[in-house]
Structure 1
Amino acid sequence: MQEETEFVGGVNHVVRHDDTVTRPAGPWTPSVHRLLDHLRAQGFTGAPRALGISEDGNEETVSYIDGEVGHYPLPAHARSDDALRAAARLLRGLHDAAADFPHRPDDVWMLPSREPVEVVCHGDAATYNCVFRNGLPVAFIDFDTAHPGPRLWDASYTAYRFVPLHAPGADEGTLPLPEQARRLRLFADAYGLSAEHRALLPATVAERLTALVDFMTTRAAAGNLAFARHLADGHHRRYLADAEYITAHADQLAD
């Protein structure tokens, strides 16, 4: 007898059948599956395996990764220093494996490419798209937002979510500024960010959050009900408040 589990949340309807997961597909899914195949060929195991796309192109199937996803409110282990460092190393491994991905002229991505193209970014490598085992991140899931871009562009959002870099009063929880700076340093050390990228990291986080709000607004205007709901719930106001907070304290965070 197959075990079937329905996952409800985020922007997709997802169903697990034993060791596989069925998700809605989009025009970008063939490119994403090529990326997942490439990551696997490079020896990177921190991502699902691509298993196929339905004949009508409406559904994709990927492998199920056993563990706990870091949904809010986050458990204590997801906020530990060890988990933060492991997330940074996992993202670095993904980027290193994706650095020589063979791009094609007919590739389609949900998000636009950003220059300089150094890797294929995950695009949403956050706690809620991370599988934890024994308290540590072991894989990222939901690669719909993958797109070519700079390492720092991707790392900035992962740092934002895992440090976290929320302004005071955030529902997701926040930390005093000195603690945010300390944990941001741990993330940068574990990923191996250069001195130049460390200096640019706070400003890039703020830019990344502003771009996220623009994306949400565009998708909602195009009729996407999930993003329209996110706007109605005020998610964009949180991102903009966090971007303003990070910009105001960029010097302390970059120190």
Structure 2
Amino acid sequence: MNDKKIDDVNNIGEVLEGGRSGKIVKMNKDVRRPASEWTETVHKVLRLIRGNGFKKVPEPKALDGSGFETVSFIEGEVSNYPLSENARSENALITAAKLLREFHDASRKVLSALDDECCWMLPARKPIEVLCHGDYAPYNVVLNENEAIGIIDFDTLHPGPVIWDVCYAIYRWAPIKNPNNPDSIGDINEQITRAKIFCDAYGLDYESRKMIPSMMVDRLTALVNFMLDQAGEGDEDFESNLSEGHHIAYLNDIEYIKQHEEQIISGIVGGSL
């Protein structure tokens, strides 16, 4: 999760690996990370959710004028790709799905406290049923060995339908990706088995399961378009993503999902209510 140390102004911090190389620093029991225009809204949501008893998200500590936020650190392991043995385990898959359901249920209770003044990195999507994490991937879910215990990095938080968040989570956790993608696990049959395990653990209904492949395609298309827009506006992180061909991998995964759409639906709806 981390591998080097830097001097951070007047403090010694430990750099955490992630999407913003060298910019996220752990100091004692807190994490200092870049803030954006939506960070104030994210802090508001996290406080509300924690206040209602869901403590498996970071506690907002500070939002200063220097362009950084401070939140509590959740102790444990996160995994990027290729997934660690713990992260690719069936128990991690099951507990990650259950944790996402817990978060969604907790978020329903705070929707009424949000208004048009809220700022989101990603646009709200109707019907608004829950708050979508927006990037519920193994690198944003904290594990204690092979059990999911916490969720981090809420920059992509936004209101939307359950299926919008779940389909992307399945894409990341199954993961349903082209076998040529180095992030992939197994063949389509193993991926579908893992996707069904996730759906079962989450408690996803029959009608929603039938929508998974098409919603995955829509979600990944939206992601590619967002990456292109942000890179076009000069965002260095997204420019780097494009130079590394991330968008090409997503486009290849889109075609792979389309190719296997009927097989995916048949596999994940079997035995569901």
Q: Is TM (by shorter chain) over 0.5?
A: yes
Extract structure 1 runs of 4+ deviating beyond 4 A: none
CA distance in 2 between counterparts of 1:244 and 1:237 reads 11
1:191 aligns with 2:202: yes
Q: What secondary structure sits across from 1:251 in the alignment?
A: helix
Displacement of 1:179 in angstroms is: 1.3
From 70, 76, 85, give the equivalent of 2:79: 70
Deviation per CA, 1:87-107, whole angstroms, max 9, x where unpaired? 110100110000122111210
What does residue range 63-142 of structure 1 map to in structure 2 within 5 Å?
63-101=72-110, 102-142=113-153
Percent identical pairs in the alignment equals: 42
2:237 is matched with which residue? 226
Counterpart of 1:16 in structure 2 is 26
1:40, distance to aligned residue in structure 2 (A): 0.5
Query: What's the CA shift for 1:3?
Result: 6.4
Shift in Å at residue 57 of structure 1?
Answer: 5.7
SS of the residue 1:31 aligns to: helix
2:68 pairs, out of 40, 45, 59, with 59
Q: Does residue 213 of structure 1 match 2:224? A: yes
Write the distance in 2 (CA, Å) between the matches of 1:73 and 1:249. 23
- The CA RMSD over aligned residues, in Å, is 1.3
Describe the shift of the 1:44–1:3 C-alpha distance in structure 2 as closer, same or farther (beyond 3 A).
farther
**What one-letter code is carried by the residue in structure 1 that aligns with 2:109?**
D
Q: Residue 49 of structure 1 aligns with which residue?
A: 59
Q: CA deviation at 1:8?
A: 4.0
1:144-184 CA distance string (max 9 Å, x none): 01001011101111111110101111111332111111111
| Residues in 1 aligned to 2:184 and 2:177: alpha-carbon distance in whole angstroms | 7
Matched residues, number? 253
Segment drifting more, 45-54 vs 232-241? 45-54
User: Offset of 1:196 from its aligned partner?
Assistant: 0.6
Matched, 1:204 2:220: no
1:72 positional shift: 2.2
Partner deviation per Cα, 1:43-71 (whole Å, 9 max, x = no partner) = 212211111200x1611110000011112
Q: Does 1:173 align with 2:198?
A: no
Secondary structure of 1:239's counterpart equals helix
SS of the residue corresponding to residue 76 of structure 1 reads coil
The change in CA–CA distance for 1:3 and 1:136 in structure 2 (over 3 A counts) is farther
Deviation, structure 1 residue 9: 3.1
SS in 2 for 1:38: helix
Q: Secondary structure at the match of 1:77?
A: coil
The equivalent residue for 1:236 is: 247
On the 8 A contact 1:88/1:191 being kept in 2, the answer is yes
How far apart, CA to CA, are the structure 1 residues paired with 2:247 and 2:168? Answer: 15
Query: Which letter does structure 2 place at the counterpart of 1:60?
Result: E
Q: 1:22 to 1:84 in 2, by over 3 A?
A: same
Q: Which runs of 5+ in 2 are unaligned?
A: 1-10, 267-273
Give the aligned partner of residue 148 of structure 1.
159
Show structure 1 runs of 5+ residues with no match. Answer: none
Tell me the distance in 2 between the aligned counterparts of 1:250 and 1:65. 37
For 1:117-140, what per-residue CA distance to the aligned partner results, in whole angstroms no more than 9, with x for missing partners? 011111111011111112221111
Deviations 1:175-231 (A, max 9, x none): 211111111111111111111100001111111111100111111011100000000
CA distance in 2, matches of 1:241, 1:39: 37
Whether the aligned pair in 1 keeps the contact of 2:41 and 2:118 (CA below 8 Å) is: yes
